[in-house]
């Protein structure tokens, strides 16, 4: 058996210092963005500015959404026909991609039992930036609500028709976080890394039940203060609670956002 090739890891920007290398890197990232970013990314960010920030490893302020289909392994195990299970999952993830991209979100990846997405706040003058920050926060909350509603009113019904025994625990939970993250290339794919990714996944683990959205305290309070009653407009209630997570089994302060599904 021959060992796998393991090249040395370069420092950020090390291989793009020469103008020719940097131009080549910019073209490569621009190509990845065409399939990864929302349609209006060049208009919202400025093509050259975003490419430079990615190449130079500069942080981008973002909101991150992590979603988990609860009891997904049981859902697969109880499927009557696995090809119908896969078809339903494909329809759901395709709908998620469209729904996230419409309000300027970025679909990062399907994780097998959920997905990861994010909204980047374009930089700019303070007043302009604050307005964009609030807009992105609102888009995040609205989209989370719409995805939960889609799953529990449409997707779950397709799974039910193809299931021998659909557990009451099956459902979609969503975690939200915000902060500086990074767009990086991994295995010729563009993906997001950083503290808000960790935080959003942690918030998913804090969801006590399906059909629940959990946000960190900073984001939960910001939504409540800045969005002029966004919770009420969405038919949601926000409760600050101490919930156990993987990192804080004794409890972490979060905002649990819940809503009543339509009849």
171-213, pLDDT tens digit by residue? 999 999 999 999 998 888 889 999 999 999 999 988 878 888 9
Per-residue pLDDT at 230:
57
With CA atoms as reference, report the closest residue to 211 among 240, 237, 186, 246: 237
User: pTM for this one?
Assistant: 0.86
Mean per-residue pLDDT, 227-243: 67
Instruction: Give Cα separations from 28 to 8, 23, 66 (angstroms).
Output: 21, 9, 27
Mean per-residue pLDDT, 242-249: 82
The DSSP letter of residue 155 is: I
| Torsion over CA: 158, 159, 162, 168 (sign) | negative
190 token code pair: 């563009």
Inter-residue contact 37 to 51 (CB < 8 Å): no
The DSSP letter of residue 149 is: H
Mean per-residue pLDDT, 23-40: 84
Say how far apart CA 189 and CA 71 lie, in whole Å. Answer: 28
The residue that leads in pLDDT, 158 or 124, is 158
Inter-residue contact 63 to 89 (CB < 8 Å): no
| Torsion over CA: 209, 215, 216, 218 (sign) | negative
Inter-residue contact 177 to 199 (CB < 8 Å): yes
Mean per-residue pLDDT, 13-21: 62
pLDDT at 259 over 70: no
Q: What's the whole-number average pLDDT of the chain?
A: 83
Inter-residue contact 81 to 90 (CB < 8 Å): no
pLDDT-derived band at 262, boundaries 50, 70, 90 = very low
Does 3.30.70.1230 match the CATH number of domain 59-259? yes
Q: How many other C-beta atoms are found inside a 10 Å radius of the C-beta of residue 238?
A: 18
Per-residue pLDDT at 17:
56
Inter-residue contact 132 to 206 (CB < 8 Å): no
pLDDT at 134 over 90: no
The residue that leads in pLDDT, 151 or 251, is 151
Per-residue pLDDT at 2:
60
Say how far apart CA 66 and CA 207 lie, in whole Å. Answer: 11
DSSP H/E element including 69: strand 60-70
N-to-C CA span, the chain = 60
Per-residue pLDDT at 66:
96
**Sequence-separated (6 or more) residues with CB below 8 Å from residue 213:** 141, 144, 145, 148, 173, 174, 175, 176, 207, 236, 256, 257, 258
CA 93 to chain centre: 12
pLDDT-derived band at 118, boundaries 50, 70, 90 = very high
Mean per-residue pLDDT, 142-163: 92
Rounded to a whole number of angstroms, the CA Rg of the chain reads 20
Mean per-residue pLDDT, 120-125: 84
Largest pairwise CA distance in the chain: 63
């Amino acid at each position: 058996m021959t060992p796998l090739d393991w090249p040395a890891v370069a420092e950020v920007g090390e291989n793009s210092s020469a103008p020719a290398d940097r131009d080549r890197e910019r073209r490569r990232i621009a190509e990845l963005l065409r399939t990864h970013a929302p349609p209006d990314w060049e208009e919202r960010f400025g093509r050259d500015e975003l490419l430079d920030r990615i190449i130079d490893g500069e942080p981008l302020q973002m909101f991150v959404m992590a979603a988990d289909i609860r009891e997904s392994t049981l859902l697969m195990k109880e499927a009557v026909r696995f090809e119908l299970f896969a078809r339903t999952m494909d329809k759901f993830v395709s709908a998620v991609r469209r729904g996230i991209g419409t309000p300027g979100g970025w679909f990062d990846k399907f994780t097998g039992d959920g997905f990861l997405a994010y909204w980047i706040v374009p930089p700019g003058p303070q007043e302009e930036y604050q307005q964009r920050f609030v807009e992105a926060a609102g888009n995040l909350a609205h989209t989370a609500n719409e995805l939960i509603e889609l799953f529990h009113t449409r997707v779950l019904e397709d799974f039910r028709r193809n299931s021998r025994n659909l557990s009451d625990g099956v459902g979609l939970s969503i975690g939200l976080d915000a902060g500086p993250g990074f767009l990086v290339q991994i295995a010729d794919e563009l993906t997001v890394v950083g503290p808000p990714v960790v935080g959003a996944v942690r918030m998913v683990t804090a969801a006590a039940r399906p059909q629940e959205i959990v946000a960190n305290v900073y984001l939960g309070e910001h939504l409540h203060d800045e969005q002029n009653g966004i919770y009420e407009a969405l038919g949601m209630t926000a409760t600050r609670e101490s919930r156990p997570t993987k990192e804080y089994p004794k409890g972490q302060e979060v905002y649990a956002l819940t809503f009543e599904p339509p009849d």
